[in-house]
Structure 1
């Protein structure tokens, strides 16, 4: 950890300075990074956390935006985790702005040439230097291939990988420090969130992976002329550059105000919902951010999706669990709900099962036997996440991403046709998944898998037992003890010691100064009468005093 701090000292100082600026100086002090601030900033630091009247969610959002692309992406991930963070903070983080000043076209052309091995003019018949969109990780430009196809080129910003790697290393360090200092951080497994984020941002920067996900959905809808997914041009794509078919049609805002000719809002809404459910519950790869900017609409009630940079992945087990969750809630089956959430998530050791089931019953009573048309899936998902959050149950990212996407989708179709209900359209998918689960072939596969895992675990038991007994015999067994208040106690003792040192220094300074004044006044030292002994001594003592004082302040424990 120390090596990382030395290697990235400049970035550490930037992060610590911004934390203090937005009123989080007390965290900097508590985790032991206060010494990274310059002395004037240490003195001016506000540890109260109330340096302005802004809501805490807004302060966090502004802070993340100032810290740059890695932290903006972290905030966007956290905005999905309403099962972990308060709603007001999650809502504020959804407003994070990921738009930046475009890079000079000459730099972009140079990057494209480096990736494709040829000048832009040799590869493309046309290249629009005016970018379509500029974000913190990449920017997009329209171009035309030599064969005449209109395409969009998505290119990573130069050196962004170095920036992200440095910030991730620092985030790992900060997570370890925060978990060591705060009990709540350990309970919410901050390190696991950093690990999840690290995987997510690296996946987002891997354009081969984005291309494969886009192509998987493209292939599924290839025979459906009503759903348009951009084609991937692999000959013009690399790990850092992705070339896709250029899709442009009517925008959502135009559809809401006055539907263009040839577009029926109800048909579009139904197709939008079904195409998303097909992605999530059939393909198992779904668009993670289906907001209006990523959707286009065409005559004949056709729908186009763009930008699959953020996708969710659901395997067969996850699809089944999500369907079981909704059906369990609709049927009022508490045992099914509890079992499904148990399979979906990570349960804390201290979970009060009786209270959790009681809260699930309250949730069940709220929706039980209500007609589908009266139930909003967004509200159902929020209520489920609120209940799991209350009991510190951590829901995996892909479920929360699916929940957030469904909430976004519900908001879109409500403005187009408020008579359409997502749950009503989703019911057949859920029933099909459950029936597929009971298929004899699927039951046989799960049984064989379970038997295989049991046998594998059984084979390992003797070796694990031998290893454990050997450690016991050799006295190598360690006992872990958790003393959550120990760090706080040591910190307070350190501050007391520093204040005592400061007081002793003041006393010593006063005694030495008084002695020298008396000696200068009443003593007889003709040899030193011409030397300003008192002045020199005072300067030395003051200098030493300031050195000690500086050391105490830099420790951050005064």
Structure 2
């Protein structure tokens, strides 16, 4: 099929049928060129395709056609469109705006079918477990639908139940998307510049997590632990006895939607307090826990009478590991010094920029970007505008932004917009400054630096142990002709032999020195009793 290899356990006829559906939907909307670009040209009778959409006086744009096609395809493709709408580093602004209009809704599954899924997972029908269970769904989406109920003890709950066979359908779509991405990478500059297989893998990982309701429950529990004792936020309890991979039962929370300004005013709630609480929660998630709610649209946050926030929907979360936080710190320091060269170095070091990126052009744009902000007070900065400029640079230079970083930028932008909506005088950067300063000092304290240096020394010790073995393997590959090199040196073998002898001679001193340094820093940091 157009040179694409599929390895799914789904039958070839299923894959072919779904591929034709995809090609048909896209070509109906004049997107046959896209099918040719990603390797499904064999399904397109002519590149521009045929049209079956409703006509209108003003012609539809390509972005509108793509949104309509993805909406028709449903399932994973709606999720794909929503994911692309959060990637301004990858798609042009007009597509971001249009794809953000995609609504993940679907006709409800018949109640008997939903009850069967529940019974298969929990072992009993809903009426045996709940005192009340509403057969009409509160919401119905492409993966599952939500019903309200009440436990035997009177506790109101919401029950999220997965649609029958949705997992198999999504895996089929992911298989097709993966094949298209691999074909495009192998045959087009577009695919190579953006490393499409990696992007599809990220999307597949996120979507499979959304299919696992137990993981969503675990995320909710982690948020509850992180914010235990914080009166500004409440997280619903998970009822694990009624939760599986395909059923999630949560305490039901109420309140006023955070973006309903008229309702907040009618209830006499101080909107400035709500703005501070919502942004404070986000800042603690990012700087304190490195674990944040990555789907912060207003429907997932409810304001309580005291101005505190109740949070729901934990299927999409972001994680910032130590390495990413360290990279952000180094980039932040380089920005403060107006050192565009160091920022460029960091982009290459963390894999945002690959060999196809023109280094000098990227550095020039970064230098222009940071010079415009030199000397300006942080309270005068707008997070959304700053992030948009960074994303424009990423798009222009084909940078591959880590998914976690893109999610973080999105969360910051939404938080700033919500804060300004709640209180027009609210400035996110000004409010966030103390949190950023505390985080900076925490990660630049002598103890934190000593720990990192000690870890680096231990890593060096491990490298000293394994380096001769790796070099020996490399030399063997060269001698057997298994490794292609872009140089041809007459004395390569003799040089490699001398290199191996030199490394063998250095390995033990290197290992010994690194171990001594590591132990020294461990003594300083942990200060064991025998040290005295």
- Same fold? TM cut 0.5: yes
Residue 367 (structure 2) pairs with residue 361 (structure 1) = yes
Matched, 1:26 2:38: no
Give the one of 294, 300, 314 matched to 2:300.
Answer: 294
For residues 231-380 of structure 1, the aligned pairs below 5 Å read 231-256=237-262, 259-322=265-328, 325=331, 329=335, 332-334=338-340, 337-338=343-344, 340-342=346-348, 344-380=350-386
- The residue that corresponds to 2:127 in the other structure is 121
2-structure distance, mates of 1:314, 1:169:
28
Give matches, 1:37-48, under 5 Å.
Answer: 42=45, 46=48
Corresponding residue for residue 405 of structure 1:
411
Question: 2:497 — aligned with what?
Answer: none
Distance 1:265 1:19, change over 3 A: same
Question: Which consecutive unaligned segments of at least 5 residues does structure 1 have?
Answer: 481-558
Contact 1:323 1:433 in 2 (8 A): no
Aligned to 1:11: 18
Aligned 8 A contact 1:327 1:430 in 2: no
The answer to whether 1:177 aligns with 2:183 is: yes
Structure 1 residue aligned with 2:147 = 141
Q: Is the 8 A contact 2:259 2:418 kept in 1?
A: no
Does the 8 A contact of 1:152 with 1:246 survive in 2?
A: yes
Structure 1 residues 278, 177: CA separation in 2 closer, same or farther (over 3 Å shift)? Answer: same
Q: Which whole-Å CA distance do the structure 2 matches of 1:33 and 1:268 have between them?
A: 50
Give the Cα–Cα distance (whole angstroms) in 2 for the partners of residues 369 and 61 of structure 1: 42
CA distance in 2, matches of 1:427, 1:342: 28
Q: Is the 8 A contact 2:177 2:200 kept in 1?
A: yes
Aligned to 1:491: none
Q: Could you give the per-residue CA deviations for residues 237-269 of structure 1, whole angstroms, max 9, x where no partner exists? A: 111111111011112353246613341011111
Bigger Cα displacement from structure 2, 267-276 vs 79-88:
79-88
Pick closer, same or farther for the CA change 1:258–1:213 going to 2, 3 Å.
closer
Moved more, 295-304 or 441-450: 441-450
**Which shows bigger deviation, 268-277 or 79-88?**
79-88
In the alignment, does 2:204 pair up with 1:198?
Answer: yes
- Per the alignment, residue 435 of structure 1 pairs with 441
2:86–2:406 contact (8 Å) kept in structure 1: yes
> Do 2:130 and 2:151's aligned partners in 1 also have CA atoms closer than 8 Å?
yes
Per the alignment, residue 68 of structure 1 pairs with 74
8 Å CA contact 1:16–1:28 kept in 2: the answer is yes
User: What aligned pairs does 1:399-548 form with structure 2 within 5 A after superposition?
Assistant: 399-477=405-483
Q: 1:99 aligns with which of 102, 105, 120?
A: 105
Distance in 2 of aligned mates of 1:442 and 1:346: 26
Q: 2:173 aligns with which of 164, 167, 171?
A: 167
CA distance in 1, matches of 2:419, 2:441: 29
CA distance in 2, matches of 1:194, 1:474: 36
Cα distance in 1 for partners of 2:137, 2:151 equals 17
Distance 2:446 2:225 in 1: 29
**Stretches of structure 2 lacking an aligned partner (at least 5 in a row):** 487-532
SS in structure 2 of the partner of residue 230 of structure 1 = coil
* Structure of greater Rg: 1
- Cα offsets for 1:93-122 (capped at 9, x unmatched): 111111111111221122111111112111
Relative distance call for 1:48 and 1:380 in structure 2 (3 A) is farther
| TM-score normalized by the length of structure 1 | 0.79
Structure 1 residues 343, 227: closer, same or farther in 2, change over 3 A? Answer: farther
- Whether 1:151 aligns to 2:157 is yes
Check whether the contact 1:285–1:314 (CA below 8 A) recurs between aligned residues.
yes
CA deviations over 1:273-329 (Å, ceiling 9, x no partner): 101111121122111121111111121112111111111111233334445545654
Map of 2:62 onto structure 1 = 56
CA contact (8 A) 1:262 1:300 kept: no
TM-score, normalised relative to structure 2: 0.83
Q: C-alpha root-mean-square deviation of aligned residues, in Å? A: 2.6
Take 1:6 and 1:466, find their aligned partners in 2: how far apart are those partners? 49
Give, in angstroms, the shift of residue 196 of structure 1: 0.6
Corresponding residue to 1:381 among 380, 387, 395: 387
Task: Tell me the SS of whatever aligns to 1:466.
Answer: helix
Counterpart Cα distance in 2 of 1:66 and 1:359: 39
The structural deviation recorded for 1:92 is 1.5
| Mapped partners of 2:295, 2:286: distance in 1 | 13
| Contact 2:37–2:188 under 8 Å retained in 1 | no
**Distance in 1, Cα, partners of 2:60 & 2:239:** 47
Deviation sequence 1:197-231 (CA, Å, 0-9, x none): 11111111111211111111112222122212111
Q: Against the structure 1 CA distance between its residues 471 and 159, is the aligned structure 2 distance closer, same or farther, given a 3 Å change threshold?
A: same
Query: Using a 3 Å threshold, how does the CA distance of structure 1 residues 309 and 32 change in structure 2: closer, same or farther?
Result: closer
Listed one character per residue, the Cα deviations across residues 460-509 of structure 1 (whole Å, up to 9, x for unaligned) are 333333333333433444579xxxxxxxxxxxxxxxxxxxxxxxxxxxxx
CA distance in 1, matches of 2:314, 2:471: 48
Distance 1:35 1:182 in 2: 16
Cα deviation for residue 342 of structure 1 reads: 4.6
C-alpha separation between the residues in 2 aligned to 1:315 and 1:471?
A: 35
Cα deviation per residue 1:358-400 (whole Å; 9 max; x = unaligned)? 2222212322222333211111111112123222221101111
SS of equivalent to 2:256: coil
- Asked if 2 retains the 8 angstrom alpha-carbon contact of 1:251 and 1:292, the reply is yes
CA–CA distance in 1 between the matches of 2:466 and 2:340? 36
